[in-house]
Structure 1
């Protein structure tokens, strides 16, 4: 696979190009007027030429255009044009029966100012918020919509994140309104093996007299002709996250209906992020640094990262914090908001004077937004702790902990300050049932390597079948985590103390199967 990080070019494997063209032929695609908007080295062209009435290839870079023209000198049905696709989409009157390709993946931070402004202008003209424009591939999707015939089709290689990230949610809604036929194709084997970028194929079209639907197909790899899994969504539209089209309408409805019977996390307490320091590596010290700067009396213990805590437990206690201290982890937050400089040791004052000039890029620490907008600049605001802590990113199971150490965290962690009368140990225990865990997968998103993420608003919306749990059961659950029991054993045990109190066994089995199906797509 050839790549060019500066241009966002990750050239499509030849077997995937072949897969896409063959797939379109099976769909009865109209190839009368085809556009390849990001031709690159021209690898789509050789497969498209034999089936296309007319094929236009657009490429930004002149050397690539010259190579394609040299290779296909006598192809009368091929037109190669050097152009910026966004500019072309904004100005062209041409309409196409098919637009196919692998758009460049360029993060907004690397896009040229004029490119970004034009892309945002295009979004506004299409009735979309400019905030969706976080990557160049989004601009290509929007641009392609402008150039389609009435019943034309788009078939793009897109990052898997498109199906689920929040910033693309409004675009997905827009596409559901614009196209009555949406196919999502993913692969069990990684397509781009040299980069950590999971991709999918997205096919968008309008079929006459067709009931709107989303089709989700999974193939073993790009040389497979038949899917190993296929599912069709019709009733559960619009679908907030297209990655959930792996579930049937019936499964989505079951998840929704059962969830409505339980309180949500936001009903059991207030949830808020931990402490925002404005520079963790400067304001959170190791024990050795605390001794060096003679500032023990001006520090409070803090948990900086979820990676500092063992996944195989549900309890953060003094044993946890002692372990961090033994491993010399930074775990002491400078609490200096009410401390005058004259009260500080000479060593601490020298340290503050040193770090204030430390730069990230061209910005000094003292000039960073958080530091510049508080007085004194080193006075980190301390927020309230909660009895339950959760970390938004996780691998196999969500990271939810009983805060027995009464510890602060940075904003990597979120704290639940429970309503009076609720037991923090029981809340964490009850979290690990099939329904809540299935909703974690349904509401969240996942990234390369199988890491899943829940933003606070999604976490707050999770149903939780809370009941008071006996201490011996809570200790058993923690023991099961520490002994690395199978996830299915842990969930089954929690189900027996929660869902089974008021739910039919067959319903619990169905929900557990949904959870496993959702987990399997990312692990």
Structure 2
């Protein structure tokens, strides 16, 4: 037993990822998972018996013996909580065998369980380290699942818990909604569909944990042998659990490692989105328009990107410099990045020049190279792995610039200035056949609700609620076909001034409304109600990102 100095506190519970489960969730999962009076039950992170107590009620309702000898088991790393669990069970006229220790140190007994239920600890990867992480990764690997270093504690816990089930057993867990959306959970998603015969998820529109901003899903997995799809029930709140019926479930069949993000969408909006992106007029992906690639990697932007004042001070010749879009993307708010905009940024003192001397640097360039060596720039990873270290490998000048890290939405911008660019942006080199119209109108037409929804679906949420697209994810962005763009070109040209004013005035929704009317309604035939559903679905995923960022700030 721990002494009085080790009394549990909110800070200690947070450190080990323990969050109190609303009784309605525990009762629901217990009633779903326990189907016979003889069922054996494990709560692998039992705390003070949040799931074991409703398991007692369920077993008794099914006709189990009063004391249920040997049917209830638990594991709890915090011995004071285990003591509290035993006390609560005793007051309920029941008992359980509760092992005190780390669940990842536990191996399944000779006779496995009919039901494993609980709320796994949720510790983000930043705090989940050392022996605890090593044991969790090894436990997952023992089941054939190799998790990445970004995985939070619940991922390995879910996989390990499955190992304690009988072949026809049931796994009922409360998991973070990031199960559906984050890349590191792809291995967990694949494991669930490979391991179980049926996988169901209950999603909530409202937050259901008091004082916790993290969204959750209920995992209901049973049987074995593999499932080709999973099913989802969309609940507004805990009260909706009582109204669940057999026709409440909607099935989804993900392709490969595709994220399960679409399951978060309202069924009506998902149907419209699926129909639209299967339509020939909107079935093109950004990757079908051309090649997406990362900007030049300097190894040290502060050294290689220069302001006009620095260029003058260093007396560098213009022949040893290249114009670039300054590092970052805040300056890219409109539809085009032209020479006038570049000149304005240069006058403002932005880093608009790339140090790019030829094979025989001038005396001024040699002096700057010597300065870099004195400061150790040549020792950075990228620099020391190229010869000469001061020559930045250039990429092809793109037709379009793509902002891949955004709070609101990714932006496509025509590179009218024809500048080079750095790795804070992607470039898009359009195919020859569509280059002219793509440069002119693709950034404009992508301001539609279907493409913006697609950005949320194929992208990934990062810290602070940022939406990031890797190049392969940017390639999956759904955009209109070239034929569609040609068909609406004149109408888009007519509204271009209004779009520009809306973007400059920080009113992107006005621009989106204009494009939606022309593209989605007039040309592709969606009703205003259907377009509104796409907007609402995009807003839903956006708000989930924002909510997650608040949760991260609250838990850090």
- Mapping of 1:48-447 within 5 angstroms? 48=54, 50-51=56-57, 54-60=71-77, 64-66=78-80, 68-69=82-83, 72=86, 75=90, 77-89=95-107, 94-107=112-125, 111-112=129-130, 115-116=133-134, 119-131=136-148, 134-177=151-194, 178-189=196-207, 191=209, 198-206=214-222, 213-219=230-236, 232-234=249-251, 236=253, 240-245=258-263, 246-248=265-267, 250-251=271-272, 253-258=274-279, 262-295=283-316, 297=318, 298-303=320-325, 305-309=327-331, 311=333, 313-322=334-343, 324-325=345-346, 328-336=349-357, 338=359, 340=361, 344=365, 346=367, 349-356=370-377, 366-368=379-381, 370-420=382-432, 421-423=435-437, 424-447=439-462
Aligned to 1:9: 16
* Unmatched 5+ stretches in structure 1: 357-364
* Unmatched 5+ stretches in structure 2: 1-8, 60-67, 544-556
| Larger radius of gyration between Structure 1 and Structure 2 | 2
Q: Do 1:341 and 1:349's aligned partners in 2 also have CA atoms closer than 8 Å? A: no
Give, in whole Å, the separation in 2 of the partners of 1:217 and 1:408. 47
- Deviation of 1:274 (Å): 0.8
Question: TM-score by structure 1 length?
Answer: 0.79
- Deviation of 1:136 (Å): 2.8
| Distance change >3 Å, CA 321–CA 59, structure 1 → 2 | farther
| Distance change >3 Å, CA 306–CA 340, structure 1 → 2 | closer
Q: Do 2:125 and 2:149's aligned partners in 1 also have CA atoms closer than 8 Å? A: no
Find 1:21's aligned residue among 21, 26, 30: 26
Aligned to 2:503: 481
SS in 2 for 1:163: helix
Q: Do 1:274 and 1:410's aligned partners in 2 also have CA atoms closer than 8 Å? A: yes
In the TM superposition, what whole-angstrom CA distance separates every residue of 1:284-343 from its partner, at most 9, and x where no partner exists? 3444544554446444343355542254x2222345435544654444433257454855
| Distance change >3 Å, CA 345–CA 23, structure 1 → 2 | same
Give, in whole Å, the separation in 1 of the partners of 2:241 and 2:431. 55
Give, in whole Å, the separation in 2 of the partners of 1:200 and 1:259. 36
Q: Do 1:385 and 1:407's aligned partners in 2 also have CA atoms closer than 8 Å? A: yes
SS in 2 for 1:374: coil
Give, in whole Å, the separation in 2 of the partners of 1:385 and 1:89. 57
Aligned to 2:524: 503
| Distance change >3 Å, CA 71–CA 247, structure 1 → 2 | closer
SS in 2 for 1:275: coil
SS in 2 for 1:68: helix
Is structure 2 residue 61 aligned with structure 1 residue 44? Answer: no
SS in 2 for 1:234: strand
Q: Do 1:293 and 1:348's aligned partners in 2 also have CA atoms closer than 8 Å? A: no
Tell me how large the CA RMSD over aligned residues is: 4.0
| Distance change >3 Å, CA 42–CA 296, structure 1 → 2 | farther
Give, in whole Å, the separation in 2 of the partners of 1:155 and 1:339. 68
Give, in whole Å, the separation in 1 of the partners of 2:281 and 2:204. 31
- Deviation of 1:344 (Å): 2.7
Give, in whole Å, the separation in 1 of the partners of 2:74 and 2:10. 19
| Distance change >3 Å, CA 95–CA 390, structure 1 → 2 | same
| Distance change >3 Å, CA 2–CA 340, structure 1 → 2 | farther
| Distance change >3 Å, CA 96–CA 89, structure 1 → 2 | farther
- Deviation of 1:121 (Å): 4.7
SS in 2 for 1:371: helix
| Distance change >3 Å, CA 94–CA 131, structure 1 → 2 | same
Question: TM-score by structure 2 length?
Answer: 0.75
Deviates more, 1:145-154 or 1:492-501: 492-501
- Deviation of 1:127 (Å): 3.8
SS in 2 for 1:276: coil
| Distance change >3 Å, CA 56–CA 235, structure 1 → 2 | closer
Give, in whole Å, the separation in 2 of the partners of 1:231 and 1:393. 37
Give, in whole Å, the separation in 1 of the partners of 2:358 and 2:458. 38
Aligned to 2:552: none
Give, in whole Å, the separation in 1 of the partners of 2:153 and 2:127. 10
